[in-house]
Structure 1
Amino acid sequence: MSRMCRVGGMNTPLISLKNMSIRIDGRTILEHVNAAVSEAEIVTIVGPNGSGKSTLLRAIIGAITPSEGQVSRAPGLRIGYVPQKLALDAAFPMTVQRFLGLPKRISARKALDALERAGVPDLRNRQMTQLSGGQFQRVLLARALLDDPQVLLLDEATQGLDQPGAAAFYQRIEQVRRDLGCAIVMVSHDLHVVMAASDRVLCLNGHICCEGSPHTVADAPEYRALFGSGTKGMMALYQHQHSHSHDHDHHHDQETTN
């Protein structure tokens, strides 16, 4: 059972999905999804392409209205969101500071605080178009952290990064969770990385196939049917690597490219 936090004097999850179904253009994307996100936990959503992972996140932030059921959020809940990708016009000059201040300008101090949390304090005056893939994702993370979110959503935020860059990014996410005490909800294909970093895993394929701790899900027949039994060994390999010291976690990340 996931931990519960106190909001408004009542024990309640930060986010609750109750019997939620989503249909788009007559096609069922998600059906009868029941899930909750509680304070400070890291929840990973895995599933094959077309399984409804991004749709689930869009429902959580309110960009999609469920066809059935409901999405409940704690009153005044602050949500940070790191998208799967973001296209910027290469001909349009924009510093990182200016990007973080859209649509409303922010102080240099606030921008620097967010970049420090994301692990890239030296990027504030760099041009967005000059950033590597890993640096760009860190800046998107900094933007999501500007308002001290209680829940941080990441939609395949390491897409295009190599394995060391992805691992460094997720280690930074763990640090953010420790610093802010926020819940993390991640969608990813990096099974061997995110599974090891998670408190709880939801395996999705139009509905929740299985749910639980990373090792519980990795042993579930539903999970193995989707991803194969070899992923459990990949997860164990990452956990062994993760036990080592990573004092320069953003060094790998800054060198990765799309």
Structure 2
Amino acid sequence: MSLITTDGLTMRQGGKTVLSNVDFSISKGEIVTILGPNGSGKSTLLRLLIGALRPSAGKVVRQKGLKIGYVPQKLHIDPTLPLAVSRFLQLPGRVAPAAAKAALQRVGATGFEDQQLASLSGGQFQRVLLARALLSQPDILVLDEATQGLDQPGSAAFYSLIEELRQELGCAVLMVSHELHVVMAASDRVLCLNGHVCCQGAPEHVASAPEYRALFGTGTHGALALYRHEHDHDHDHDGHHHHDGCDHDHAHTHDHSHQEGSV
């Protein structure tokens, strides 16, 4: 059963087409990661999926009564504003103190209730944002670059926590991330986006550290070529093959052990 499905989703902003004809779905319990270069429409797609934006064309269908827990990329809070964690967790609706305490405890932020948001480290703040997302008892957790600014051990610990929560709650997880070393291990499915869906499918573990390091110096080609695309398999729920012209040459990373048609 799909929690969210899109059909021909298109978004134009400022006279420019940001997303074109995106067909996507995510099912209960699934972890899906969206990859793509800067400006490829990743955050726009997330905002369309959760209903924060209205599409220019196409449609988004959400399961009736779907509860979404959203962890934004950044949340700008005036550092001079006195706002304790306990108060922040009450926005926008009241939450029982016991529920707030339990959520903080679950994300490894025990005893943070009286701390000021402005005094938290990046990792602590992300955990508080995650606790807030959990308070809605979500069917799907949506994370937009949620570990940006964290060091590698910090982000690995955060993704490990997300995996635990997925298993405990049975919720789906939809992530935008650049951290391929974690993403490849953690995701059930990877969607490659560059204004349109280039391809999607099961991820492969990033093979070696040199390749991972290389991606930082090779721009989007490195980032998008690090997982294997098996173009001879159906990757989506509709039976469509995704041969639709990703702008990047993946030929040197394809695994040709499966020839076309020899499934």
TM-score (norm 2): 0.79
Tell me the SS of whatever aligns to 2:111: helix
User: For residue 183 of structure 1, what is the aligned residue in structure 2?
Assistant: 172
User: For residue 106 of structure 1, what is the aligned residue in structure 2?
Assistant: 95
Partners of 2:146 and 2:99 lie apart in 1 by: 23
Give the letter for the 1:115 counterpart.
L
User: For residue 71 of structure 1, what is the aligned residue in structure 2?
Assistant: 60
The unaligned stretches of length 5 or more in structure 2 are 206-225, 232-244, 254-263
Matched, 1:91 2:80: yes
User: For residue 227 of structure 2, what is the aligned residue in structure 1?
Assistant: 218
Once superposed, what is the RMSD of the aligned Cα atoms?
Answer: 2.3
The unaligned stretches of length 5 or more in structure 1 are 5-12, 231-258
Give the letter for the 2:175 counterpart.
M
TM-score (norm 1): 0.80
Partners of 2:23 and 2:100 lie apart in 1 by: 37
Matched, 1:22 2:11: yes
Give the letter for the 2:180 counterpart.
L
Give the letter for the 1:19 counterpart.
G
Deviates more, 1:217-226 or 1:134-143: 217-226
Matched, 1:172 2:161: yes
Q: Which runs of 4+ in 1 moved over 3 A?
A: 221-230
Tell me the SS of whatever aligns to 1:152: strand
How far apart are residue 229 of structure 1 and its match? Answer: 7.2
Give the letter for the 1:89 counterpart.
D
Of 19, 37, 45, the residue aligned with 1:48 is 37
Shift of the 226–43 alpha-carbon distance from structure 1 to 2, 3 Å rule, reads: farther
Kindly name which structure, 1 or 2, has the bigger radius of gyration based on alpha carbons.
Answer: 2
Partners of 2:107 and 2:75 lie apart in 1 by: 17
Shift of the 96–229 alpha-carbon distance from structure 1 to 2, 3 Å rule, reads: farther
Tell me the SS of whatever aligns to 1:160: coil
User: For residue 126 of structure 2, what is the aligned residue in structure 1?
Assistant: 137
Tell me the SS of whatever aligns to 1:44: strand
Partners of 1:41 and 1:30 lie apart in 2 by: 23
Give the letter for the 2:164 counterpart.
Q
Partners of 1:226 and 1:134 lie apart in 2 by: 36
User: For residue 239 of structure 2, what is the aligned residue in structure 1?
Assistant: none
How far apart are residue 111 of structure 1 and its match? Answer: 0.4
Tell me the number of residue pairs that the alignment of Structure 1 and Structure 2 aligns.
220
How far apart are residue 105 of structure 1 and its match? Answer: 2.8
